[in-house]
Amino acid sequence: MHGSIHGNIGNLVSLSVLAMDYNYFSGSVPNEIGKLQMLQDCSFVGGGEGSEDGGGVVGVNDG
pLDDT digits (tens, 9 = 90+) for 8-42: 999 999 999 998 888 887 788 888 999 999 999 98
- How high is the pLDDT of residue 5? 87
DSSP code of residue 22: T
Position with higher pLDDT, 58 vs 21: 21
Question: Residue 4 above 80 pLDDT?
Answer: yes
Average pLDDT in the chain: 78
Distance (Å, whole) CA 36 – CA 11: 8
Pairing of strands 55-56, 24-25: unpaired
Distance (Å, whole) CA 41 – CA 26: 21
Distance (Å, whole) CA 14 – CA 22: 23
What is residue 61's three-state secondary structure?
Answer: coil
- How high is the pLDDT of residue 12? 95
The ranges assigned to domains in the chain are 2-56
